[in-house]
Structure 1
Amino acid sequence: MNEAEPLSPEELERRLREIGEERYHIHHPFHHLLHGGKLDRGQVQAWALNRYYYQASIPAKDASLVARLPTPELRREWRRRLVDHDGDGIAPGGVERWLRLTDGLGLDRDYVVSLRGLLPGTRYAVEAYVNFVRFRSVLEAVASSLTEMFSPNIISQRVAGMLRNYDFVSEATLAYFTPRLTQAPQDVAFALDYVKQHARTREQQEQVLDALRFKCDLLWAQLDALHFAYVSPGLPPPGAFRPC
């Protein structure tokens, strides 16, 4: 096939899924340690504290995309994600549920929200994602969300492994994850259909593939930072969270 020819929608989806199979952070050594019960309480606290910044930044990146979507239908669809993460003022959203996780792990909520204990690698990776969605094309921004295609598997592993291996977590502590098992597939169905419809040229399709690679890379980079700081060699930088 001539490399300049567009891929079929089915082939584009196949290549997207190949990227996830190869690069999604389910394969990261820190992931295996976390779910396999090989971390101590302080290391799990460090993961939850740093991951909070990612969770709390998702509504900001989604709001920036809503502002650029051209139709009411698209804005309504993406606005639903804001409610999923920020809540509706009555039912808690994902950010609040994540704070309940950090509460359950014994972290001071004010300290978590202050972001004072963040690893620099976490901060840089998350801010790179927010800026990617803010400044790249709408097509690339939507495509970057497609790591959600692979999240139900990692969520199932995470919840089952942590409940089995850590006596300091409970189903209530991990309540963040339950709604994501239904929210993520709904998000994926829309985003995947969008990119398959709108990535019409080979150049656009390569942008979509690169956007997903970028997102996988920044998720991997966050775990790299955690592994270096809290596992091996175990060198948290100045100002970062230090487990008691």
Structure 2
Amino acid sequence: MAADPLSRDAFAAALRALAPRYWDRHPFHRRLHAGACTPGEIRSWVANRWYYQTILARKNAAIVANCPLPEVRRRWLERVTFHDGPHDGEGGLADWLALADAVGLDRAALLDERHVTRGTRFAVDGYLHFCQSRPWTEAAAAALTELFSPQLMAARVTAWQQHYDWIKPDGYAYFQHRIPVVRADAQYTLDLVLTQCRTAGEQQAAIAALTFKTEVLGAILDAVDYQKGVP
């Protein structure tokens, strides 16, 4: 006998209940926000996160490509533009380059990915493949880590300004631009997943997708923590 689907409220609660798996509770993240990281460790985090940032427009484009609903495609396409920018030198990737400059990362070293760990590469490539190959609703559900991210990004800016006064102020542009956008995106995505995932199987697949995404983010921090900083 097939299981009954969760109610909308119970489904939302099950997704939100994954918050303890988010990477804000990782030991490295706690040290990062407590002011206990060296400049080299912060540069390692920025360099490895750069590799993650570079696939976001592509994974969002995969969701657009796999989604049969034009109203969703139009809304989701905004995420591609946010990261790639409407023009060269604009958008989330450009802002991340500014952050790399602000923490003293060599631009050439960032772009040739010499500091990207194999653990980060494996996790990020796996996430991109997941979004390209799984049903679009699962890929959208995996993006629901954005439910947990606005508060963390705001706390990061405050903590870094307090503990790492050597970071140049213009490096915070990414977080300042992203926080209001991700708040709106999170609510939209939650409503979308709650509406589109109607059967018990679809709901469990969405919960598994979000669980997988938390594993991806945790694996990135495991790798960064192991790296112990970069020049």
TM-score category (smaller protein): over 0.9
CA distance in 2, matches of 1:207, 1:147: 15
Other-structure match for 1:12? 11
Other-structure match for 1:239? none
Alpha carbons 1:163, 1:170 under 8 Å: kept: no
Query: What letter is aligned with 2:195?
Result: Q
Give the C-alpha shift of residue 198 in structure 1: 1.3
CA distance in 2, matches of 1:162, 1:75: 36
Residue identity (%): 38
Identify which of 133, 138, 142 aligns with 2:131.
133
Unaligned runs of 5+ in 1: 231-241
Query: What letter is aligned with 2:23?
Result: H
Alpha carbons 1:155, 1:181 under 8 Å: kept: yes
Q: Deviations over 1:51-105 (max 9, x none)?
A: 0000111001111221112132111111100111111017711111001000111
CA distance in 1, matches of 2:226, 2:106: 24
Other-structure match for 1:206? 204
Alpha carbons 2:66, 2:135 under 8 Å: kept: no
Alpha carbons 1:43, 1:243 under 8 Å: kept: yes
Query: What letter is aligned with 1:243?
Result: V
Alpha carbons 1:60, 1:130 under 8 Å: kept: yes
Q: Given the two structures, how large is their TM-score scaled by the length of structure 2?
A: 0.96
Query: What letter is aligned with 2:188?
Result: F
Other-structure match for 2:27? 29
Give the C-alpha shift of residue 191 in structure 1: 1.1
SS in 2 for 1:7: coil
CA distance in 2, matches of 1:170, 1:104: 5
Give the C-alpha shift of residue 181 in structure 1: 1.3
Q: Deviations over 1:178-218 (max 9, x none)?
A: 12111111111221111111111111110010000000111
Identify which of 59, 62, 82 aligns with 1:61.
59
Other-structure match for 1:44? 42
Other-structure match for 1:237? none
Alpha carbons 1:146, 1:191 under 8 Å: kept: yes
Q: Deviations over 1:215-240 (max 9, x none)?
A: 0111011101111221xxxxxxxxxx
Other-structure match for 2:178? 180
Structure 1 ranges of 4+ moved more than 3 A = none
CA distance in 2, matches of 1:110, 1:170: 19
SS in 1 for 2:165: coil
RMSD in angstroms over aligned alpha carbons?
1.5
Identify which of 119, 122, 127 aligns with 1:121.
119
CA distance in 2, matches of 1:170, 1:149: 28
Q: As a proportion of its length, which structure holds more helix?
A: 2
CA distance in 2, matches of 1:189, 1:243: 37
Query: What letter is aligned with 1:172?
Result: D
Give the C-alpha shift of residue 109 in structure 1: 1.3
Trace 1:64-213 onto structure 2 (pairs within 5 A): 64-89=62-87, 92-213=90-211
Query: What letter is aligned with 1:187?
Result: D
Unaligned runs of 5+ in 2: none
Alpha carbons 2:141, 2:189 under 8 Å: kept: yes
SS in 1 for 2:225: helix
